[in-house]
A and B are shown apart, each in its own frame.
Chain A
Amino acid sequence: MTEPLLDVENLRTYFSTEEGVVRAVDGISFELKPGERRGVVGESGSGKSVTAMSIMRLIEPPAGEIVTGTIDYRGDNLLTLDEDDMQSIRGGKIAMIFQDPMTALNPVYTIGDQLTETIVLHQKVSKKDARGIAIKALEDVQIPNAPARLDDYPHQFSGGMRQRVMIAMGLSCNPDLLIADEPTTALDVTTQAQIMDLMFKLSEERGTAVLLITHDLGVVAGFCDTIQVMYAGGIVEYGTVDDVYHNPQHPYTWGLLASMTRLDEDQQARLHSIPGAPPSVIDLPVGCRFRPRCEFAIDICGRVLPAIHPIGEGVQQVACHRAEELDLKNIDIATDDPSAGIVDDTTSDQVADSEVQEAVEVADGAADISGEVTA
């Protein structure tokens, strides 16, 4: 077993708002190996971006706070480092690129100014040498005519080129870990293909680990080694991409994959859809957070938050009470055949409603859900 590069243990990041406490990340644990490409997938509000911000310690009190947990990077707990030490890790060892390169770049400085600033800060070189490194960095991300483009301003670049600049900036100090938060969401699909291809090559060549945060299961399938699926602040499933895509164990993962339109499938039939919407992270349901939308929910799901646990032979993990008995892989979604195990949407809603009632009654008596968490 290789030493993990990053070891996140029981991380909880909360935000206080007027409506109440937002439990954006609520007790997640995971490890990342050196050079590993991990996809962090979830819908809006699932806590995937806050996970990234927490690792970079970009959560600003009093608005938000890392309540508990440790984030070990090569043995140092990032959460207890002083600001100076954190500064040298941020950008130097762990770099981050954001969804919108236009807002992440400063419009009044040239690309060169912004690139060399990072390099001078982290590599302790002269300005002149930094310029050379910056040119090399731009060439590495395949920006044509790099020496001249160094003196251009961000608005002189197209969206795809700006994201290349961001990647160049992120990788200029040879970090061990690159956190990419929806790096291609704002880009067109042909540009996305260029950028993902580039990131893949650079990560292979340099052995840089990547934490790719995205809502797009398609991008993860081609880029990542492993995937963790997040829902309402928790990790519900983890595994290699092969295991998770071909043998999803959590009803949410299964439902997400089934509800996707696919380019290679002529789906004239109805799409499978997950009923309802993700819960508010202020007012989380008692028990399993996916239960109100889950067609397989039973009594216990409304009372006890399932802990994430290993399943099967490999590294796969799932947070579902019924994972062992459900055979999701063999439920034929395409045919919508009830005998295959699919419950009709409307009936499952009704069932779910009556269960909500029960669950609430049960929970009213005995509910400290945080006590149930064994992540």
Chain B
Amino acid sequence: MTDTVDTAQTGQAADVSDLPDDVILRVSHLVKEFPINKGVFFKKQVGAVKAVSDISFEVKKGQTLGLVGESGCGKSTTARAILRLLEPTSGDVWFRSDTLDTVVNVATASKGQLRDVREDLQIVFQDPYASLNPRMTVSSIISEPLTVHDEGDKKSRVDEVKSLLKVVGLQPEHANRYPHEFSGGQRQRIGIARALALNPSFIVLDEPVSALDVSIQAQVLNLLDDLQAEYNLTYLFIAHDLSVVRHISDRVAVMYLGRMVEISDNEQLYDSPMHPYTHALLSAVPIPDPTIEAKRERILLEGDIPSPANPPSGCRFHTRCPIAVEGKCDVDEPQLEELEPGHWVACFYPEVKNVF
């Protein structure tokens, strides 16, 4: 966990010769803006929603990076821009592809390259009710990636589907059923099987358990753990639930309004968080223990998250920050700095705080 961010901040992103062997993904200066247009016939861009502004991070092979933040912070946009499901406005996404046996810049890759890279780079979506086509059988849903990438013949695909169903804890007999015949947890297992079909090395999990009941959440989290160990998978785990992220992640990155405010190893982030937003976020998460809850002091933030179309000047958090300093935080924008080994914070006045 040494130069996670500074290479991305100082070095020329086009050069990846320094990409350590154990790093599978390097996101560098990623920007995604959505234009705001006005006018019906003569469309004119009058502004932009700055969903993701200059985000840089790395993910090591076999590890899980948790990306947390509240709605509108840009975490899902980041995920989609990494996969090129959304076209990034600028920035690079370096990915070490097993299929191509080289490092590819996903952000600028050609269509053909992108197709190959996606054998290694898969995604599981949040809503298992919306992400499975209701008119396709489970078998055709899971084998679709195989068909698209022309893997095997019909017979081998059928066998593959059956073995994938077993891997995610479903029965091979389920192959000919439709999504509506399954519960939420089972559907999420189908989504995971589909993502596994091409034997990827990297999976983006976009709020994979948020729509599930607690008892089912634990089942899916355990499954994800098992799969990671068995297939040496790397995860980018996006969630708003900080306790789930604590359980599953090796490293955690916190986003606020399109910017990354803090990134560090799991333990450090939870035991000694330094950014005032991270403090507020952690202190707001309820703990299922009445004795602890009775003693806890909540840091209540004022107001609501500002619009990403018109983010505040200086530090984007200064409008709600309990320790903001006038004349500094509203003027200058803090950059991520490594304050402890592997612990990066974007704040002019960082301090370690225990929030439990």
Contact = CB atoms under 8 A, between A and B. Distances in A.
A261 interface: yes
A261 B291 contact: no
Counting chain B residues whose Cβ lies within 8 A of the other chain, the interface size class is: 35 or more
A263 interface: yes
Interface stretch (A68-76, A97-105, A251-259, A350-358): A251-259
A188 interface: yes
Contacts of A221: 286-290, 292-293
A222 interface: yes
Nearest to B271: A266
Of listed B244, B283, B290, B301, residue having the most chain A CB within 10 A: B290
Given A217-B288, A219-B286, A270-B222, A261 B301 contact: no
B185 interface: yes
B217 interface: yes
B304 A263 contact: no
What does DSSP make chain B's interface, helix, strand, loop or mixed? helix
Interface stretch (B2-10, B149-157, B208-216): B208-216
A255 B215 contact: yes
A158 B215 contact: no
B298 interface: yes
User: Which of A160, A189, A215, A272 counts the most chain B CB atoms within 10 A?
Assistant: A189
Interface in B45-63: none
Given A44-B213, A189-B281, A263-B270, A271 B287 contact: no
**From B280, B282, B286, residue with most partner A Cβ within 10 Å:** B286
Interface stretch (A52-60, A111-119, A273-281): A273-281
Given A158-B304, A263-B287, A264-B292, A273 B218 contact: yes
B300 A197 contact: yes
A92 B266 CA distance: 49
B70 interface: yes
A201 to B, nearest CB: 11
B246 A278 contact: no
B353 interface: no
Chain A, interface size category, equals 35 or more
Contacts of A67: none
B203 to A, nearest CB: 19
Given A193-B298, A194-B300, A260-B243, A241 B215 contact: no
A264 B281 contact: no
Nearest to B355: A263
A161 B304 CA distance: 9
B243 A189 contact: no
Interface string B7-20: 00000000000000
A163 to B, nearest CB: 11
B304 A191 contact: yes
Contacts of A220: 288
Given A43-B213, A265-B246, 4 more contacts: A194-B300, A217-B214, A259-B218, A266-B246
Interface of A: 43-44, 158, 160-161, 188-194, 196-197, 215-222, 241-242, 245-246, 255-257, 259-268, 270-275, 277-278
In order of increasing CB-CB distance, the 5 nearest A-B pairs are: A218-B286, A222-B293, A259-B218, A193-B284, A273-B218
27 contacts: A43-B214, A43-B216, A188-B70, A188-B71, A189-B285, A190-B70, A190-B301, A196-B286, A218-B293, A221-B287, A221-B288, A221-B292, A241-B290, A260-B214, A262-B246, A263-B287, A263-B356, A264-B289, A264-B292, A265-B246, A266-B246, A267-B247, A268-B247, A271-B218, A272-B218, A273-B222, A277-B216
